[in-house]
Amino acid sequence: TGGTYTFATVGTGKTTVLAQSVEKIGKAGVGGVIEIREVNLGAMPAAANKFTLKVPSNFEWDPGKTQISLGAGFSGLAASSVSYDGRVLEFTVTPAAGATQRGVIYVTPGIKATRDAKKGDVEVSVSGTSGATSVADADVIVAEYVDYGISAKVYEVKELKAGKFDQKTEMITIEENVSGALIADRDDLNIELPSWVKITGIKWDTVSPAGLVTARTTAGDGTKSDFDVPIAASTGPGVTGKLKFNLELSIEANKTGDIEATITGAGVDEVKVVIAKAVAPVTASAEVKDVLIGTQNQEVADLFITETTKEAMMKKPNSGADGNLVLTLTEGARFTAAPKVEVIDGNLEIKTAEVRLASGDSQVLIPIKSESTKPSKLQVSGIKLTVDRTVPEGAVKVKVQGAAIAENNRGADGWLNGARDNGASNTLDAGEFETGTVVAPQIARVITPAPTDKKSLISFVIGESKYTANGIEQTMDVASYIKNDRTYLPVRYVASALGVTDSNIIWNDFDKTATLIKGDKVVQLKVGDTKMVVNGVAIAMDVAPEIASDRLMLPFRFIAQAFGASVAFDDATRTVSMEL
């Protein structure tokens, strides 16, 4: 064990005294053998030499385990007048005349601890006299009194990356404090890690003695956070068992901090030891900007994504998925266009030309071309957002995801969270987790309009492919027009003006029906049909929806009024205005 021990003390009498070793003991045990050796031939008188050995307070001698033997110049002799009185052992040695070598006395100390004994060194005081002559006077440490259990340690607390498979710990050692601490044929020794860590492999280095564990678990199935070690045979006197192994782990993508192992069972008290530290593969930050609901093309500050270690963003993860870094916005917000992404530090390479929007423009996909050899940093700039009216006041966040950094997410294509109808996995395979997000920094803040400006004001100029929302000009991909004295607008922009999100616009191409959902209001319209259905109630219109320029065009007034908006038309400026 660690620390400094006194194995020998030169006495002031006729002998030297030393302890051959310092042994760990529990409530009862055997310490290191004490040698009392003549400093020269005939140093001890050829008469009765009385020795007194005394153990510390709250310890006692164990007569059944204590042995006294004589050697070298004292061979053939035996100790006499041996007596035990709690802390005190006394015996007498009478050397024979004519010895040709120095004599040695060996005391194997059997020691018992009482209830109030303190953990730590067990020091034996040795004294000896022959008449008025001192023949021994020394103090030696023979044992360390420890808990009757096990100790656990790791060679080094290594940093392991969250979101990755096959993260290997340094060597873990579990060792008995005293012989027989691990009890055979009882409940197994159990090693349990946090629930956000799964064990995918176990590599054994040492089982000592060999019979301690005969059925070694060599591989975790990747679905659990613990494993059992059956103790086949308890260790005997003077032998302490030792287990040494490494673990291969998969760590949930959004978890960081100490990975603590809890060891229980096999008759020992619970022991905890930190075996590794989980770190995020990347960090992300951005300056928070204010944005408005129901408004397009709102520019926010740049986003910075930094690797915490080299190769944190992978070109081809172990999951087999493409190495995409994915940025996903808060529901109800979307990217107006693909932002610019560049490496501003380190040697990571990305496929710049393939950076693109996905999932209804709520995501940006950034393919990794080549992994870094030193931690790198990405800058995502030119970020413009469209924020629906359904987004509540407060934080707009961007989830940093993708198989490039979260390879142990369940999705079959490496970045989709959960089971989907588009091919993502419906089961958790070895080492997989539901979590696909590593970090989710805030990039914008939705602000609530002042009480005097709570209503939304939207205006369209007939024949123009733009409109104004709360004073901010927005662009459409097709111009509004008038037909049969009614204003027609494309469905997406009608929905945006009314606070209906893209996900709540449902188009049935088979029967040419559009469904718009906002809160508890459901509005359905069919191409060529002058009947509008609002929450199951049919309402007559004097014009019908139609397809123009490959866009579904809706009669604006009827739709706006169905969602509770008021509509006005300025014939002089040919402007349609809506207040909601």
Question: What's the count of helices (H) and strands (E) in the chain, helices before strands?
Answer: 2, 52
pLDDT digits (tens, 9 = 90+) for 537-566: 999 999 999 999 888 998 888 888 888 888
What's the rounded Cα separation, in Å, for the pair 47 and 94? 5
What CATH number has the domain bearing residue 420?
A: 2.60.40
> Would strands 189-192 and 158-161 be described as parallel, antiparallel, or unpaired?
unpaired
Are 20 and 126 within one domain? yes
Global model pTM greater than 0.85: no
As given in the structure block, the two tokens for residue 190 are 């159990």
The β-bridge relationship of strands 15-19 and 34-38 is antiparallel
Residue 500 lies in a domain: yes
* Closest-CA residue to 70 (of 100, 44, 103): 103
Residue 2 lies in a domain: no
CA-closest candidate to residue 95, choices 65, 63, 71:
71
CATH of the domain at 474: 3.30.457.10
Report if residue 319 sits inside a domain.
Answer: yes
The confidence score (pLDDT) of residue 448 equals 64
Residue 211 dihedral angles phi and psi, to the nearest 5°: -80, -5
Domain identity same for 291 and 420: yes
For 561, phi then psi, to 5°, come to: -65, -30
Residues 275 and 338 in one domain: no
Do 364 and 386 belong together in one domain? yes
- Considering the domain architecture, whether residues 457 and 424 belong to the same structural domain is answered as no
- Whether residue 359 is found in the same domain as residue 396: yes
End-of-domain residue from the set 389, 420, 446: 446
Q: What is the pLDDT of residues 477-494, one digit of tens each?
A: 889 999 988 889 888 888
Domain that holds residue 560: 453-579
Is residue 15 one of the residues assigned to a domain? yes
In terms of domains, do 242 and 307 share one? no
The tens digit of pLDDT for each residue in 519-533 reads: 889 999 999 999 999
Q: Is 402 left (phi over 0), alpha (psi -120 to 50) or beta?
A: left
pLDDT of residue 6: 45
Same domain membership, residue 227 and residue 176: yes
d(CA 385, CA 364): 12
DSSP state of 418: S
Number of domains in the chain: 4
Same domain for 77 and 123, yes or no, is: yes
Q: Amino acid letter at 194?
A: P
- pLDDT of 419 reads 35
3 within some domain: no
Q: Which of 117, 145, 173 is the last residue of a domain?
A: 145
**Domain end call among 113, 145, 177:** 145
Domain assignment of residue 1, yes or no: no
**Whether residues 390 and 489 fall in one domain:** no
pLDDT at residue 549 in the model: 85
- pLDDT at 9 (0 to 100): 44
Q: Does 395 map to a domain?
A: yes
User: Domain check: are 137 and 182 in the same one?
Assistant: no
Q: CB of 263 within 8 A of CB of 150? A: yes
Q: Has residue 297 been placed in a domain?
A: yes
Domain match, 132 and 158 both:
no
Q: State residue 451's pLDDT score.
A: 39
Provide the pLDDT for residue 422: 36
Please identify every stretch of the chain with a pLDDT value under 70, giving residue numbers as ranges: 1-13, 218-219, 319-321, 411-426, 448-455
